[in-house]
């Protein structure tokens, strides 16, 4: 794993320098970090150039600005600086909001989006109800001072060992940034704007969902091209690394 820095933006990659060919940017969900996905570097091999972008306040990394718009702008400036003209996106959970902000506000039609693989990516208000909406139901100071630690302890002591895996990254996340990003995500997801943009703007896209994930809306809501990961839920990259790796590579190569 190679570390790339641009200003205070941090990316982890399987390449030591930017190669403008088969580029994939991966945006993980809240409370995760690049370590959760580094197994994909071996999966992709030399054919793809994978860049995992560290979220603000995650993996112990501090950014000067912690909102998703400033973060997306920084990514756009990085793409522009490196003269990247074609890119694929993979995004999980809260990370699914970032490519939409990035393309709608900054990239527009300046860079060709080859593919957008969205894994349960917070496109509707229902997607935020498990975690982020509950987070912002508390006062920020209360969440930082007590509720975040309760969340970490609850996840770490869970009988679900996949949640225990998540707790390792959660411990390296800033409680303040966790709250701020949750608040921003909830606000953005309240309307159908994110969903509509995902469905209408991106020509090549697929929506991934875990077989065991619970939805309050029909899966058909997310578009005509969907992919189900069997025997998994929201954290299939913990639950079944081998299946996740195979599906990840297949979808990048697939024509649809």
pLDDT in tens, 15-54: 877 776 789 999 999 999 999 999 998 887 778 899 999 9
Q: Would you place residue 148 in the very low, low, confident or very high pLDDT band (cuts 50, 70, 90)? A: very high
Q: Would you place residue 89 in the very low, low, confident or very high pLDDT band (cuts 50, 70, 90)? A: very high
pLDDT score recorded for residue 256? 46
Note whether residue 116 is domain-resident. Answer: yes
Note whether residue 235 is domain-resident. Answer: yes
pLDDT score recorded for residue 225? 87
Note whether residue 156 is domain-resident. Answer: no
> Helices (H) and strands (E) in the chain — how many of each?
11, 8
Cα Rg, the chain, nearest whole Å: 17
pLDDT score recorded for residue 43? 80
Task: State the sign of the Cα–Cα–Cα–Cα dihedral 212, 218, 222, 227.
Answer: positive
User: Which one, of 113, 128, 124, 122, lies nearest residue 205 by Cα?
Assistant: 113
Q: Which domain holds residue 109?
A: 2-126+191-253
**Arithmetic mean of pLDDT, 104-108:** 95
d(CA 200, CA 221) in angstroms, rounded, equals 12
d(CA 241, CA 255) in angstroms, rounded, equals 23
Phi, psi at 3, each rounded to 5°: -100, 130
- Do 210 and 112 contact (CB within 8 A), yes or no? no
Average confidence score pLDDT of the chain:
92
d(CA 237, CA 92) in angstroms, rounded, equals 10
| Residue 52: strand, helix, or coil | strand
d(CA 58, CA 39) in angstroms, rounded, equals 19
Buried b or exposed e, range 43-80, using 16+ CB within 10 angstroms: bbeeebbbbbbbbbbbbebebeebbbeebbbbbbebbe
d(CA 27, CA 34) in angstroms, rounded, equals 9
pLDDT score recorded for residue 101? 97
- Do 113 and 84 contact (CB within 8 A), yes or no? no
CA torsion 105-110-113-119 (nearest 10°) is -20
**CATH number for the domain harbouring residue 107:** 3.40.50.1820
Note whether residue 166 is domain-resident. Answer: no
What are the tens digits of pLDDT across the range 204-218? 999 999 999 988 888
pLDDT score recorded for residue 223? 86
Note whether residue 47 is domain-resident. Answer: yes
State both tokens at 78: 């990085």
Q: Would you place residue 189 in the very low, low, confident or very high pLDDT band (cuts 50, 70, 90)? A: very high
State both tokens at 183: 């608040």
Note whether residue 177 is domain-resident. Answer: no
**Arithmetic mean of pLDDT, 190-217:** 92
Note whether residue 118 is domain-resident. Answer: yes
pLDDT score recorded for residue 255? 57
Q: Which residue spans within the chain are E strands per DSSP?
A: 2-6, 9-13, 23-27, 49-53, 86-92, 112-119, 205-210, 226-229
pLDDT score recorded for residue 39? 92
Q: Would you place residue 224 in the very low, low, confident or very high pLDDT band (cuts 50, 70, 90)? A: confident
Number of domains in the chain: 1
Note whether residue 119 is domain-resident. Answer: yes
């Amino acid at each position: 794993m190679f570390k790339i820095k641009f200003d205070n933006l941090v990316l982890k990659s399987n390449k030591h320098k930017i190669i403008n060919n088969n580029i994939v940017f991966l945006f993980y969900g809240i409370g995760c970090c690049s370590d959760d996905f580094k197994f994909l570097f071996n999966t992709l091999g030399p054919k793809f150039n994978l860049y995992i972008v560290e979220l603000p306040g995650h993996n112990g990394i501090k950014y000067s600005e912690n909102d998703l718009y400033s973060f997306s702008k920084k990514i756009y400036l990085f793409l522009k600086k490196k003269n990247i003209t074609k890119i694929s996106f993979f995004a999980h959970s809260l990370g699914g909001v970032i490519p939409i902000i990035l393309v709608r506000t900054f990239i527009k039609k300046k860079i060709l989006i080859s593919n957008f693989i969205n894994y349960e990516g917070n496109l509707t208000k229902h997607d935020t109800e498990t975690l982020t909406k509950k987070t912002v139901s508390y006062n920020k100071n209360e969440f930082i001072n007590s509720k975040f630690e309760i969340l970490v302890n609850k996840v770490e002591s869970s009988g679900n060992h996949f949640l225990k895996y998540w707790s390792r990254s959660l411990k390296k996340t800033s409680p303040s940034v966790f709250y701020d990003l949750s608040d921003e995500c909830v606000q953005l997801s309240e309307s159908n704007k994110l969903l509509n943009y995902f469905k209408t703007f991106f020509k090549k896209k697929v929506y991934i969902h875990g077989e065991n994930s619970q939805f309050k809306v029909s899966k058909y809501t997310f578009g005509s091209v969907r992919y189900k990961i069997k025997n998994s839920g929201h954290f299939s990259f913990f639950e079944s690394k081998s299946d996740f790796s195979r599906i990840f590579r297949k979808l990048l190569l697939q024509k649809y």
